[in-house]
Amino acid sequence: MKSKIIFIIFLFTIISTKIIIDGPELISICINNLKFYETSNKYKKYVSNLNFDNTIHLTYDINKAKKYCDDDECMMQFDFLHFLESFSIHKNTFNLEKQVNGTYFSLYFQRINEKNSFCIFKTKINGKFIQQYDITKKLVCNRMNENKCKIIYGKRARKLLESEKNFVAYSIYRIIDKNIKNTLDNYIK
């Protein structure tokens, strides 16, 4: 029984979500704006203990959407809102050096039947990299024993390659979109 309770607590610390929805029809509008790709589990070779803290806000109110904008580029889009049918803003800041941490922000705007709909997704990510190793090969000769030589294999710690960091980042984007879709689907049920 204790193990089940610990597992449930552990499950909720991995993905926590805050949802604010002004109208149930916004869910289908916002799900249509998300892109879904198949995710492989190969990222688990590089990252462990991924935690996602999601904030999902679906609204018709422009003032509620503006409070999520923290730069001039985002606010400039709201100035031209009367001329636009739709727009999207994505900002991602990841630190992929010793730990995986950062934020993922998406804001979708769409005008449907003279109504402005805003879909805001903000996710904080935390995780740890798994130490990667290179295989080393060394030739060791013993002069005392008639110069007999043998090859000794070892491991040397290394940093992640740039291609591996990119793979981890794209995998995280896909996981976030999938988590948001699953959360909104479960909210409908």
pLDDT digits (tens, 9 = 90+) for 92-142: 787 777 788 888 888 888 887 777 888 888 888 888 888 888 899 988 888
Q: Check pLDDT > 80 for residue 54.
A: yes
* Range 14-29 average pLDDT: 75
Vertex 14: Cα angle to 10 and 15 (nearest 5): 125
What does the block give as tokens for 111? 């005008």
pLDDT higher for 102 or 11? 102
CA proximity to 67, closest of 120, 113, 17: 120
Q: Check pLDDT > 60 for residue 5.
A: no
Query: H or E segment at 68?
Result: none
Q: Check pLDDT > 70 for residue 11.
A: no
* Per-residue model confidence as pLDDT tens digits over 175-187: 888 888 888 888 7
- The three-state secondary structure class of 45 is helix
Identify the band that residue 150 occupies on the pLDDT scale cut at 50, 70 and 90.
confident
